[in-house]
Amino acid sequence: MMWKKPWSLKEGFTIGAGLILAGLLLQLSAGSIVWDEMSFPANLVLLAIFVVSTVIVYSLRDKVYGFRFLASYASAVPCLVYAVILTTIMGLTRQVPVEMPVTDPLGISHMLSFWPFVLIYLWMAIILSQVTLRAIFHFRLKKMPVITFHLGLLIVLLCATLGSADMKRLKMTVSKDAPEWRGIDNRGMIHELPIAIQLLDFNIEEYPPRLLLVDNDSGAVVKADNLMGWQVKKVKVVNEAAPMMAGDTTYYVSWHDEGNVRAWLVKATSPDGKLTRQGWVTCGSYRFPMQLLKLNKQYSLAMAEPEPARYVSKVQILTKSGKNIITDIEVNHPFTVDGWKIYQYSYDEKMGRWSAISVLELVTDPWLPFVYFGIFLLAIGAIGLFFTSSGKKQTQPQSIKTTE
């Protein structure tokens, strides 16, 4: 019979099913959870409500059987099963950014805002809080790893969820003209920041360009190894060049102004060795068109755009706190100031290495230190549990064999 004390796994799975059903009804009636509306101070208020409610539930556990049931394995096991199922669905379903509309009628493509998912994880947080409080109020030194592990998991779960509303990821386009203090989010909304950034210099280091075959009729690049057998030899290389005309012939001379191109004078020999072509090939720039060498009726030789190996923005950063910093920002090497991480994101690709702007990404997550602290507690607790369990195995009495 259901709901006969003591409750068992059946009641636990029934509670989980009820939470999922309630979540589906909320999802269909109210839509997905809008986490942006729970930014500071709303998330701090929610955290305070959770903490107070946790203490109240624990203090009434002897009077309300349902509260006491929360800290039992019969509640924890079904909760974990439902959480694993929903997390697996999230992993198997294409998730879209929160600023984009859902791609399915139910809303599982926004799983972190999906009501059944959130309610199940809220159930898990309540269980963790009750187990942690019980361990704290019945403290024994050997239970310290258990307390640390559960407390760390609870901190990670709460802070990562409630703190997501305060995380900002903005794009800022900076130039040499004047400092910029505004960033744009993924929805196109403009945010004024406590940081102003001005571009001082922008530099790109490029890989050597590659030679390609191009179809003369379609202009498409022919994907073939070794240029389909054509042997190409460089006769002359001018890394910073500009075109010059001599009658009907175009040639390239050294030129160090903006918009110069890489120019190679090449000699190409057909696979059978019967045909030879010589001429200039360039990758082109915003100032000069690219130059191709026609090999035959079907193919021409072209130079691909050089791929950037490294691009760096030298910037000046001014903050409301009075800091004046000059630093370099490049890909995978962000700069951190006043809680903001500044990443090199992009540039004016049409202008290439002469780009007059740099696009930076600025990210702040005020709750991240608490998440890291929770992860630290998790790791310490896991290590402690490993050693205590190992110690128990070593101290177990060995069976004594007797002979008659």
Residue by residue, DSSP assigns 191-220 as EEEEEEEEEEEEEEEEPPP-EEEEETTT-P
Provide mean pLDDT across the span 309-318.
94
Q: How far apart are CA 213 and CA 233, in angstroms?
A: 15
Sign of CA dihedral 338, 340, 344, 350: negative
Structure tokens at 343: 């990443």
Q: Are 364 and 172 in contact (CB under 8 A)?
A: no
pLDDT, residue 254, reads 95
Cβ neighbors of 346 (< 8 A, separation 6 or more) are: 358, 359
pLDDT, residue 38, reads 85
Provide mean pLDDT across the span 266-287.
93
Which pTM value belongs to this model? 0.76
pLDDT band of 400, cuts 50, 70, 90: very low
pLDDT band of 393, cuts 50, 70, 90: low
Q: Is residue 113's pLDDT more than 70?
A: yes
* One-letter amino acid of 301: L
pLDDT, residue 225, reads 73
Q: Which residue has better confidence, 140 or 397?
A: 140
Q: What is the pLDDT of residues 33-57, one digit of tens each?
A: 888 888 889 999 999 999 999 999 9
Q: How far apart are CA 213 and CA 220, in angstroms?
A: 9
Looking up tokens 């022919």 gives 222
Catalogue the long-range contacts made by 291-294 (C-beta closer than 8 Å, 24 or more residues apart). Answer: 291/243, 291/250, 291/252, 291/263, 292/214, 293/266, 293/268, 294/216
Q: Is residue 396's pLDDT more than 70?
A: no
Average pLDDT value for the chain: 90
Q: Please, what is the end-to-end C-alpha distance for the chain in angstroms?
A: 51
Q: Is residue 229's pLDDT more than 60?
A: yes
- CA-wise closest residue to 167 among 49, 34, 340, 320: 340
pLDDT, residue 3, reads 87
Q: What is the pLDDT of residues 360-374, one digit of tens each?
A: 999 999 999 999 999
Provide mean pLDDT across the span 134-161.
91
pLDDT, residue 403, reads 41
Q: Are 276 and 286 in contact (CB under 8 A)?
A: no
Q: How far apart are CA 222 and CA 338, in angstroms?
A: 50
Provide mean pLDDT across the span 320-327.
94
Provide mean pLDDT across the span 237-257.
91
Q: What is the pLDDT of residues 171-194, one digit of tens each?
A: 999 999 999 999 999 888 999 999
